[in-house]
Amino acid sequence: MFWLLFALSALGIFILIAIVKLVLRKIFNIEKEEKKLFSYNHINELHKKVDWGIRISSSIILILLVFYSIELQEYPAILSLIVLVIFTTIDFAVKAFFEWRYSDNPKQSILTISEMIIWIPL
């Protein structure tokens, strides 16, 4: 039952994101960019370096947090969630900044920010 609820929730979130993006594309006249599924398109080489720095540092911090929780024999779940939300926000914000500043289509950053606003509270 848990997995069914989880799958339906995930499907609902993806549908919500698709609808919000569609509406924002119509309102702001944003061109649709062709992107491969599950790929990450970097705007330029600096964006690639910054993004990998964020990913590596977040991975290291989350691993250290797991070791910390094992050592203390207690699991600070809220701390892990806070760290995860912070790094997710930073990742989306960096992507939006590079889309706004260096992309051929700066309005694409509006879609990235809207996606961030939907994902972060979850």
What is the residue-averaged pLDDT of the chain?
87
**Domain range summary for the chain, segments of one domain joined by +:** 43-119
Query: Residue 73 region, left (φ>0) first, then alpha (ψ -120 to 50), else beta?
Result: left
Please report which confidence band the pLDDT of residue 121 belongs to, taking 50, 70 and 90 as the band edges: confident
pLDDT over threshold 90, residue 53: yes
**Angle at which helices 45-71 and 77-102 cross, to 10°:** 180
Residue with tokens 């924002």, as numbered in its chain: 24
Distance CA 91, CA 54 (A): 7
- Rounded CA-CA distance 92/21 in Å is 15
CA dist., res. 55 & res. 72, Å (int): 26
More confident residue, 53 or 41: 53
Q: How large is the C-alpha radius of gyration of the chain?
A: 17
DSSP code string of 50-62 = HHHHHHHHHHHHH
> In the structure, what pLDDT confidence band is assigned to residue 59 with cuts at 50, 70 and 90?
very high
pLDDT at 47: 92
pLDDT tens-digit profile of 10-51?
899 889 999 999 999 999 998 887 776 666 778 899 999 999
